[in-house]
Structure 1
């Protein structure tokens, strides 16, 4: 019967099952030729067109069916499902709503409406859909699944998990049911249950990447980082574009200190999602690990635009600025981070460390006190505070914190290094050496840092050969694998040690190696400048500082300003030298070393008082004792005929030399009253031959001396005229320095 629609529809369905879709389509169309309003032909053609990816044609058939059968919910359900599958979610919601009005008891419509709302991130609308379900529908796994999803997104993980178990009891292979249940268990902290479910469904649903992803999350929480990396790798095999797996594996690789691998994963994530803020932030942390401070700042700036400012973004910027030795900026960022995370001990500790290197010891002590309140059982915090207290010569407080630190951790290498350094600052060299020796035997010690601490101790004791040996041992142990690899900071510290021993060539090589290893440009440039200054080459020192760029960026850097002041002073540019030293002194008001203050006073004394831009005057006033030779006292006693401990022995002579000089003598001393008048003038030219400098100090001096005592005036009164020239050179060939003087006196 060629006009039997039922037989034709069954035949068309069979052809469709046999994947003969064009033939099936022709049969459905033939049905419509002799039965233009056949409901099943329109429905079947709509689903067939959708199956073939012909969405406009499918949409047309479903819409025609809806017009022909306005009270039938099926075309609206079909349209809703199709629109959801192609992310036309707003249209899907309209279709489901129209179908629901026609069939409010239909569970498929409610489940479909909820699903579309969840995919469209309209969670309130999803809640409205699931609340339309009736008690009779609550045993339907589709409704249970939508309740599971909605409750999970509403943060009700326990209730969500209960529905999840119900879904899987009826539909063991329900993908959404299993995935949402696994995430609910994870968020409830039921990690063992999460692992059990994820491991089971990793086999049941072998294409789903969320199960190995969740296993990675659990292993990360448990500190099993290598297993977590493997888990995320399996997730990526199932979905090579799974951004969350790349990002999480990157963070784990950061924790494993494999920054290069982490950056590769974050880069992959950003290829798929350029606006992924977590990936940007993770890449910033990786760049910090590699001492790529500028790259870290670029990444965190982009991250902040996406996810906003947070304690983590401020911490990245602070750490980057610390690496760049821009300490005031680092301090500002750490304080901003602490505002957002006031109980984070690591932030208080990092801020204290930054303040220490800014020579702000009291604020550093305050931050460590806050950290100790939050973590009173951390011995390293006490050791760090002892170090800052030692800089201020707070002896009793330092010794107390040393005891508190060592009582809790008598065998921790980092603690012993810090307490040893604190004791060394107090001048307790033997006690410091004992700590360094114990640190060297500690199981967790950093042997390179310990050897460098020994070297600093030996330099302090002027045992330069021993200091060189310690540095050599440290780097040798790192090279053969007996110690952790030497870091850029270790190389800078070693360079500073050799500079203090005037071993300029080796110091320069170490600074160069530090730069290759990622040390901050400022550290290297200032270190190299100090080497050049120690060799008397101010031009080369200036070139090193110039490599840092704009000088104004470093006016808050203590070491930079100290080096700049030394360059100006070497050039006899005293006004600029005074300005630079004054700035350095202002940056380190608590520095007990007083290096900047001493340099400032000396430069100011040489500069004098400015009368005009090009003319200064200076004065000098001194008070100094003048002691006679011991033999004169003995001779006076013998002349008086006195020996032994006789009370008649003459009193000791006392003479104080000032601009007005008086002498007081006992026994055979004649009183004098002398006035000296000195008139001086001079020139200080500098002759340059290449990098060598020859400094001349030339001048004329006229002295008038008058004694008010008539008995001695003939012998004491003087009119003296003196001409003089002094010569000194900078080091020549790093081996020879020339000094000489010539003068002529008359009168």
Structure 2
């Protein structure tokens, strides 16, 4: 960062010489001085030039002329004028001071030093109301000394000035800069700190940054640097250099989120800057946000091109190896680019081998012998790593695993042996060596290594199986004999938690959960708080509960899982199981809480996410009252994940229906039927009713659509239903009513009559299917009535039908007296019309 070095604190010109004009030209001199005061420098110069021609020996005229030229920023002429004053009165300090000021403004540092030194030499006594010229000369000389790199002299002058007046901010600032230049950083920081409260605005911000730079870059005082950068940025928020330096401090302090914020702010000010991208990527890497780190490293590499720092390839490769999903091909490419310039980096070769190996054998998978042929590159790279550095343990395990997959068992033995020698506390070498020894029929060696492996990973069922097979092949015992042997070991040492754990595992595998629980609990009692023992006990307790379905067993499992969760609050398996246990105990809020925490910690686990969202929605619906909104939200997420799965539409539709969101419910039920190919009559009828009711709401609310789209869908669903149950009176009535609503909404007489005719047919069929369906008789009468009104030629036919239907309606029980009276009046009107 550029530092503030100021000579801007120079004094103004002093006005002493020539203050008392003689009677000669007193009026003109007064006028010229008035012009200078008013800033009319050209007018003043014109008068003074005239007077000087008359009296060239009048020194005071040159003094005023210098002032005027200075005001016009004509510094050469001002310097000449003050020089003439000095020539005339060489022992008067004021003019030396003024010329020094002019020379500073002209960047004539040596001349300024000479003039200010002369003032100091003359040592004039301060005049009342005027500045102390000696003190001001020393202050101005500080800035001039800085410009010619005379830092010791600058410090001496500044110290003298500050002794007399310690509140001079720029003087403190300049002395701090001088201390910085001679590497006395503590003193520089102290002066910058003292100067800050005496400055303002940009000067104050810049001084904060100067102080912070020294604290960060020279004194490694990271937190003080952060504090000063922060104060400076509060005044100058767009200072990219300060943002970058503060980010670097945060990074070294391991405060990665603030560092990320600063690098991002800097990038907003300098979009696409390659170095900033590289630095921000390093922060993302520390935060394990590998995807973002990859984006930034890629941006840097693209920006830097051929001049890129090749170590960035190494870093991006590390991201590729850690990102989910892993990008082994990307890591291989980057590591090759890196190793092209760093061929002796054993760790780089090891990582390349790891990437090449995992690209053929992704973690947790197995491969065929034919596929194992692709491990040749991994073997080559791992061999290179171990040749460069015989302590590259991971390279040895890659070699051993690669040879093992290729069924080159004899070749696998040496690298496994080397790995075990380097990492005797790790299980992988024992497992690998045990496997190849088993395949080489060296059962004694396999047993020894499997047992060592199981001491490190006692719950590995596959290795236990191989161990038993090895024992059987080499004279080993049965599972029952193994339990007996472990019981003997417990009797010999009743305080050995490992023996209880191993016997508990054996009982667990036999599904004797009570005995397994007892052994796991004993191991935990012997070593309280041991996470592995807690997890064993939890697994056995839950397995028992799953088998018995007993509330007491679920409660016991819940208690131990709660202990496990206290040790590993973000453990996905624990959160998932806790949710399931709470669900079985009908503790809906607790289940929802566990499922929610699980989803937060496992946002990419699509398979379990579906089950968890389904369960969470179920729990929300079981609450009193049901949390319909939350359930709908979860079903919506499930639909987003599985847009072609019909059951989620059915479940969400039911929730919408309970929420009285009829339109949404109808749409979901229709989607369910479409996706499932379901011809379930009840579903079709229910959907039809929902669409009709939605249309009715719109119609009654004077919706511009008049509910017609919903009535059409109701008709469609009723029609599909009636194709299955043709004599359902309620469905015939429902479809007829939807058609009637269409007819009433139509302004085209022909269309209206056609729809009324369909409605009449449905109402007639409904009354035939159920002669006591009053509403069907009413709407049959109303439809015939409307038809006769709309078509006078049909009145003689339709009005009698309407009368007959109306008379049937009023004769049925349940019709209110008011309705009956109104209908009877209409019957009378229709008879009169006939």
TM exceeds 0.5?
no
TM-score, normalising length: structure 1:
0.40
Instruction: Please identify the structure whose Cα radius of gyration is greater.
Output: 2
Relative contact order: is structure 1 or structure 2 higher (C-alpha 8 Å, sep ≥ 6)? 1
More strand by share: 1
TM-score, normalising length: structure 2:
0.36
